[in-house]
Amino acid sequence: MLRRLLQPASTSAASLALLVQQKIIFSASAGMESLRRGRHYQILFRRHFIDLHKMVDKEAIKKEKARLKDELSRGYFADIAEIRENSGKIAPANETLIPLTEAVKFPGLVVYNSDGSCLDLPLSEQNVNNNTTEIIPSASLYCLSFRASSQRMTESWSTPFLDAFDASSNVQVYEVSLIDSWLLSLSPVKNIFLKIAKSSSDPRRRFVYSFGDHYDFRKKLQILNLLTGYIFLLDGHSRIRWQGFGSATPEELSYLVSSTSLLFEQK
């Protein structure tokens, strides 16, 4: 009698244990499957991320190799030799305005005034809207120097230019010093530098400074020799209409003045 009562109970307990075991195995299998799928998607994501990273990295490496090759093709001594050979005149100045069909836009450049304020060059309608104190002149002379030795060259253009148009308020001169030094580009050092930097009391003459890597900027303007000065005359639409190099000669100054006067007539 007792055996009959215990036997179904034992069978029931065994069945329950078997059922629980099956559920545990099923849950574990489902968990493993979910984990496997998650791992699969994780591997796929990582693989795509690595492929994208490699692609970007390859482009960066390719660009850096091209830059290194370009920089090594012209060294400091090559620049000095060229300056000594032609006194900074790496090319003759334009005798007249560059036609509109050939004129290109001056590339964008972030510069700082001596008071620490920032300015985007060349000026555009958007820049003027953001800063109402700025106006877009009909003619702007951009004098670029990458080394202190070329600043005298750029001044040989800017001073006579302003004297020639002394009665006009529709001209603007920007003497831009481009500083590649990483040390001077650091904020604390840069701020100290700007406090002692050269400034001008003439509102038509601005001494501004640009910090950082200017390789792409130089490439756009085809600037190779960093020891000479580069002069660009821009119209009211930021197009380069005239260009000069090195120190100004009387003849080249006459070209610049006549080209600027012609630019006023075309307004």
Q: pLDDT tens for the chain, 267 residues: list them.
A: 444 444 444 445 445 444 445 444 444 454 445 445 544 444 444 455 445 555 567 776 777 677 666 666 666 777 888 888 887 888 999 999 999 999 999 999 999 999 999 999 998 877 666 555 678 899 999 999 999 989 999 999 999 999 999 988 899 999 999 999 888 889 899 999 999 999 898 999 999 999 999 999 999 999 999 999 999 999 999 999 999 999 999 999 999 999 999 999 886
CB 266 within 8 A of CB 239: no
CA distance 18 to 10: 12
Q: Are strands 240-245 and 118-121 parallel, antiparallel or unpaired?
A: unpaired
Report helix, strand or coil for 181: coil
SS3 content of the chain, % helix, strand, coil (to 5): 55, 15, 30
What DSSP letter does each residue of 102-169 carry, written as one string? Answer: T--BPPPEEEE-TTS-EEEES--HHHHHH-TT----SEEEEEEESSGGGHHHHHHHHHHHHHHTTT-S
Q: What is the pTM of this model?
A: 0.75
Which strands form 230-235's sheet, in the order they lie side by side? 118-121, 109-112, 205-211, 171-179, 139-145, 230-235, 240-245
CA distance 13 to 171: 101
Joined together, the tokens standing for residue 197 give 């930097």
Which residue, chain included where needed, has tokens 């580069």?
230
CA distance 193 to 210: 12
Q: Which helix (H) or strand (E) holds 222?
A: none
Q: According to the model, what pLDDT value does residue 227 have?
A: 92
